[in-house]
Amino acid sequence: MFDVIEMLGHSGHDLRSSIILTYGLDLPLYDGLVRRALNRVGVWNQVVFCDLSCYIQDIQAQTAALHAGKQYSVTPIWQAGAFHPKVYLLLGPRHGRLLVGSGNTTIGGLIRNAEVLGLFDFDADKASGPHVAFPALFGLVEELSLRASDTVRKQIKSARQMAPWLSSPPVEDGRKILIGGPGKPELLTQIAECLPTKKADELVICSSSFDRELNGMRKLLPLSKAKPVCIVQPDHIEVDGRAVQKLGASVVWRPFADPYPPEKRQRKDVREHAKILLFGHGATETCIFGSANASAPALSATNTEVVVVLPPASKGEIVKHLGLAASLKANSVEKELGEKLWPPAMDERPESKFKCLLSAVAAVESGYRLSLASGEPPKNSRLALSDRCTARPSATTAIHREGDSFVAHSVKSEDAFRFGWIASESGDALSNPVGITWPSVGSQRRAGGSAGTKAGDYVSAMQDGAVLGTVLFELLDQFRDFEVIKIGSGKRSGSEKEKVDQTEGATEQPAEFFYTDAKSDAVNGHHWTGDRIDLDILASLVQPLSPMGGSQTLKDEDETYDDSRLEKEEAEHRQIEAQKGKATGEEKQRHSDTSGEKLEKAISRLERRLDRAAASIEKSLEYVEDLQSLAPNGVARQIWMTHIGAFLANRITESSDGEEFICLHPWCFANYVLRVCRALAGSKKAGGFLDKVAKSSWEGFDGDALTKGLSFLWTCVKWAAAYMVHYYSNGEGKEEIPESIAVASAELVAARFIWKVRAHCAQADQGNLKKRFPASDAVPPAQMSRTETRLQQLAQLIADVETSGNKSLLGLESDTTSLKAGSLVHNPKLGVTMLAMEGGCRPYRLVDLSHSSDEPVKFGALVTPVLFKGKPYELFQRTEESTV
Cβ–Cβ < 8 Å for 88, 49: no
pLDDT confidence bin for 62, thresholds 50/70/90:
low
Can you tell me the distance from the alpha carbon of 6 to that of 20, in angstroms, rounded to the nearest whole number?
16
Average pLDDT, integer, range 367-394: 88
The neighbour count for residue 247, using CB atoms within 10 Å, is 19
pLDDT confidence bin for 840, thresholds 50/70/90:
confident
DSSP state of 800: I
Residue 482 clears pLDDT 50, i.e. is over it: no
Residue 124 clears pLDDT 70, i.e. is over it: yes
Can you tell me the distance from the alpha carbon of 673 to that of 337, in angstroms, rounded to the nearest whole number?
41
Can you tell me the distance from the alpha carbon of 563 to that of 243, in angstroms, rounded to the nearest whole number?
56
383-393 tens-digit pLDDT: 999 887 766 78
Can you tell me the distance from the alpha carbon of 35 to that of 43, in angstroms, rounded to the nearest whole number?
9
Average pLDDT, integer, range 598-603: 69
**Phi (first) and psi of residue 632, to 5 degrees:** -55, -25
The neighbour count for residue 627, using CB atoms within 10 Å, is 16
pLDDT for res 615: 86
Can you tell me the distance from the alpha carbon of 105 to that of 45, in angstroms, rounded to the nearest whole number?
17
Cβ–Cβ < 8 Å for 807, 866: no
Residues of the chain by 3-state class (helix, strand, coil), percent to 5: 40, 20, 40
pLDDT confidence bin for 413, thresholds 50/70/90:
low
Give me the helices (H) in 427-485, please: 452-460
Can you tell me the distance from the alpha carbon of 324 to that of 320, in angstroms, rounded to the nearest whole number?
7
Can you tell me the distance from the alpha carbon of 17 to that of 42, in angstroms, rounded to the nearest whole number?
8
pLDDT for res 50: 97
Burial 198-216 (b: 16+ CB within 10 A, else e): eebebbbbbbbbbbebbbb
Average pLDDT, integer, range 209-221: 96
pLDDT confidence bin for 200, thresholds 50/70/90:
very high
DSSP state of 34: I
Q: Return the amino acid letter for 165.
A: W
Max CA pair span of the chain:
91
Minimal CA–CA distance to 723: which of 777, 681, 772, 768? 777
Residue 42 host element (H or E) = none
Measured in residues, the chain has a length of: 884
Q: Return the amino acid letter for 246.
A: K
pLDDT for res 502: 32
Minimal CA–CA distance to 663: which of 671, 651, 672? 651
Average pLDDT, integer, range 647-653: 82
Average pLDDT, integer, range 86-114: 91
Residue 286 clears pLDDT 90, i.e. is over it: yes
CA distances (Å), origin 761, targets 638, 646, 727, 796: 17, 20, 29, 15
pLDDT for res 697: 79
Residue 797 clears pLDDT 70, i.e. is over it: yes
DSSP state of 332: P
Can you tell me the distance from the alpha carbon of 205 to that of 193, in angstroms, rounded to the nearest whole number?
18
The neighbour count for residue 765, using CB atoms within 10 Å, is 21
pLDDT for res 882: 56
Minimal CA–CA distance to 643: which of 742, 698, 724, 713? 713
HSE-CB at 194 with a 13 A cutoff on CA atoms is 23
Strands 176-180 and 305-309: antiparallel
Minimal CA–CA distance to 545: which of 618, 653, 444, 651? 618
The residue ranking higher by pLDDT, 110 or 517, is 110
The neighbour count for residue 172, using CB atoms within 10 Å, is 11
pLDDT for res 795: 95
Q: Which of 197-206, 531-540, 837-846 has the lowest mean pLDDT?
A: 531-540
pLDDT for res 10: 73
Can you tell me the distance from the alpha carbon of 633 to that of 441, in angstroms, rounded to the nearest whole number?
27
The residue ranking higher by pLDDT, 32 or 560, is 32
pLDDT for res 261: 62
Can you tell me the distance from the alpha carbon of 768 to that of 477, in angstroms, rounded to the nearest whole number?
7
Residue 425 clears pLDDT 50, i.e. is over it: yes
869-883 tens-digit pLDDT: 999 999 987 766 555
Residue 783 clears pLDDT 60, i.e. is over it: yes
Residue 596 clears pLDDT 60, i.e. is over it: yes
Edge-first strand order for the sheet with 490-491 is 490-491, 660-662, 652-654
Residue 369 clears pLDDT 70, i.e. is over it: yes
pLDDT confidence bin for 396, thresholds 50/70/90:
very high
Q: Where are the beta strands (DSSP E) in 375-460?
A: 382-386, 395-402, 405-409, 419-423, 434-437
Residue 730 clears pLDDT 60, i.e. is over it: yes
Can you tell me the distance from the alpha carbon of 635 to that of 128, in angstroms, rounded to the nearest whole number?
51
Minimal CA–CA distance to 282: which of 315, 312, 317? 315
Burial 275-296 (b: 16+ CB within 10 A, else e): bbbbbbbeeebbbbbbbbbbbb
Can you tell me the distance from the alpha carbon of 505 to that of 856, in angstroms, rounded to the nearest whole number?
47
835 Cα distance to chain centroid: 38
pLDDT confidence bin for 32, thresholds 50/70/90:
confident
pLDDT for res 595: 66
Minimal CA–CA distance to 397: which of 380, 386, 409, 379? 409
The neighbour count for residue 606, using CB atoms within 10 Å, is 23
Kindly report each contact of residues 783-792 with a partner whose C-beta sits within 8 Å and lies 24 or more positions away, as own/partner. 783/722, 783/725, 783/726, 783/730, 784/718, 784/719, 784/722, 786/722, 787/718, 787/721, 787/722, 787/725, 787/747, 787/750, 788/718, 788/722, 790/747, 791/718, 791/721, 791/747, 791/750, 791/751, 791/754
Q: Which of 17-26, 425-434, 593-602 has the lowest mean pLDDT?
A: 593-602
User: Could you write out the three-class secondary structure of 470-537?
Assistant: CCCCCCCCCCCCCCCCCCCCEECCHHHHHHHHHHCCCCCCCHHHHHCCCCHHHCCCCCCCCCCCCHHH
Cβ–Cβ < 8 Å for 449, 36: yes
pLDDT confidence bin for 651, thresholds 50/70/90:
confident
Q: Which of 440-449, 675-684, 706-715, 841-850 has the lowest mean pLDDT?
A: 440-449
